[in-house]
């Protein structure tokens, strides 16, 4: 505990000295979430991270999350220096959507509007008409559908099919998935709900359809935390990365939070429902980055110039 406290104090001092700002996602280590909040940075979902990074005047941002979040910050602010605690922190959705295969898929369907999830590489975004996050994907597809547009969606198949069902849009889906959310199980969730009939069921839409179908609230990380804040329920079943429980417990102290069931749920499964790449962000590597300036994110400026178009469209739509 003492070591953690001294690491945090040193990080705070360096953030001040270097005039750097920490932007953390809700799935990273609780200390990194707290540090972001305590030092004038932000902890939020991926849409808010993008907007906060773009609007903040600091010349250096430290993005504690996964690679696509750092890349999005760089694409939106090419003049800023973007550092990350670990550059190998990626995402199964990004890994499962190689830019060349994606470009070939788009080439086969030139009549479709290309909508990609934020969890993709800069090169994939460069090929897209729209980027969306889980907090606003439904509204954007709804608007495109109302304009009569047919959609090519990538990469998350669960989020894509959820949006497709809700909007009735014509959507051709890439078959990617999040390795964390893909593990939540519908049948086991039914049993859990029967044991906790009073619990509100909170589900991130990267989860499989059988899990989404049982949700009381479906939304981005920020939207799920807001639902906890607004609810009178005494307990919550949570189908998303358990890094989010830190903020949920702050939002509703004393209430009961239960991890939604995964196939591997057991006393011995410590990493269930926690993203291995988000877990790569820690106090030690954050300090190292602040001390050395290591782990800078670079995006090819030509690719960034193309990719920014689809991100700006989302941010303008959300404004
Ligand atoms: P949010 O945009 O809801 O924060 O989700 C990002 C993510 O990676 C979820 O797995
Ligand atoms: Fe990607 Fe899933 Fe990790 Fe989010 S939780 S960064 S979607 S692998």
Alpha helices by DSSP H, listed for 39-176, are 46-55, 67-76, 92-95, 99-108, 122-126, 137-146, 157-167
Residue 177, pLDDT score: 96
Question: Would the CB of 199 count as within 6 Å of ligand 2?
Answer: no
Q: In what order do the strands lie in the sheet with 171-173?
A: 130-132, 113-117, 151-154, 171-173
Q: ipTM value of the model?
A: 0.97
Residue 1, pLDDT score: 77
Nearest CA to ligand 1 atom 8: 119
- Choosing from 23, 26, 27 the residue with most ligand 1 atoms within 8 A of its CB, the one to mutate for a pocket test is 27
Partners of residue 64 on adjacent β-strands: 24
With vertex at residue 204, the alpha carbon angle to CA 306 and CA 134, rounded to the nearest 5 degrees, is 25
Closest CA to 63 of 310, 254, 274, 285: 285
Question: Would the CB of 241 count as within 6 Å of ligand 2?
Answer: yes
CA 48 vs. chain centroid, Å, equals 10
Residue 271, pLDDT score: 46
* Token pair recorded at residue 279: 């877990």
Nearest CA to ligand 1 atom 3: 220
What torsion, rounded to 10 degrees, do the Cα atoms 156, 221, 70, 183 define? -40
d(CA 114, CA 197): 41
Partners of residue 115 on adjacent β-strands: 130, 153
Residue 17 Cα to ligand 2 midpoint, Å, equals 32
Domains and CATH numbers, the chain: 2-89+278-297 (3.40.50.10800), 93-178 (3.40.50.10800), 181-259 (3.40.50.10800)
- Close Cβ partners of 274 (under 8 Å, ≥ 6 residues apart): 27, 180, 241, 242, 243
CB 234 within 8 A of CB 157: no
Closest CA to 167 of 144, 146, 142: 142
| Omega cis (within 30) before 25 | no
Question: Would the CB of 133 count as within 6 Å of ligand 1?
Answer: yes
**pLDDT tens, the chain, 319 aa long:** 779 999 999 999 999 999 999 999 999 999 999 999 999 999 999 999 999 999 999 999 999 999 999 999 999 999 999 999 999 999 999 999 999 999 999 999 999 999 999 999 999 999 999 999 999 999 999 999 999 999 999 999 999 999 999 999 999 999 999 999 999 999 999 999 999 999 999 999 999 999 999 999 999 999 999 999 999 999 999 999 999 999 999 999 999 999 999 876 555 444 479 999 999 999 999 999 999 999 999 999 999 999 999 999 999 999 9
CA 233 vs. chain centroid, Å, equals 25
CB 280 within 8 A of CB 200: no
d(CA 289, CA 285): 6
């Amino acid at each position: 505990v003492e070591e953690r406290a001294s690491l945090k104090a040193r990080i705070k001092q360096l953030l001040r000295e270097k005039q750097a700002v920490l932007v953390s996602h809700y799935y990273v280590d609780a200390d990194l979430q707290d540090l972001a909040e305590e030092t004038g940075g932000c902890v939020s979902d991926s849409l808010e991270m993008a907007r906060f990074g773009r609007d903040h005047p600091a010349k250096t941002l430290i993005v504690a999350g996964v690679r696509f979040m750092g890349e999005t910050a760089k694409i939106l602010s090419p003049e800023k220096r973007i550092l990350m605690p670990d550059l190998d922190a990626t995402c199964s959705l990004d890994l499962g959507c190689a830019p060349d295969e994606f470009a070939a898929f788009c080439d086969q369907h030139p009549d479709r509007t290309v909508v990609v999830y934020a969890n993709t590489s800069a090169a994939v975004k460069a090929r897209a008409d729209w980027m969306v996050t889980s907090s606003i994907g439904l509204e954007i597809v709804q608007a495109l559908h109302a304009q009569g547009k047919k959609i090519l969606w990538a990469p998350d198949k669960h989020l894509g099919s959820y949006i497709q069902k809700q909007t009735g849009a014509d959507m051709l889906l890439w078959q990617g998935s999040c390795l964390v959310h893909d593990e939540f199980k519908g049948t086991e969730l039914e049993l859990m709900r029967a044991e906790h009939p009073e619990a509100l069921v909170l589900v991130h839409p990267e989860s499989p359809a059988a899990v989404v179908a049982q949700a009381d609230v479906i939304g981005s990380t920020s939207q799920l935390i807001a639902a906890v804040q607004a609810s009178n329920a005494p307990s919550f079943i949570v189908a998303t990365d358990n890094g989010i429980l830190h903020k949920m417990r702050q939002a509703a102290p004393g209430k009961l939070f239960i991890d939604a069931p995964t196939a591997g749920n057991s006393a011995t499964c410590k990493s269930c429902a926690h993203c291995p790449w988000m877990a790569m962000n820690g106090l030690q590597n954050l300090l190292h980055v602040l001390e050395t300036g290591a782990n800078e994110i670079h995006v090819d400026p030509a690719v960034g110039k193309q990719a920014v178009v689809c991100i700006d469209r989302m941010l303008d739509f959300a404004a």
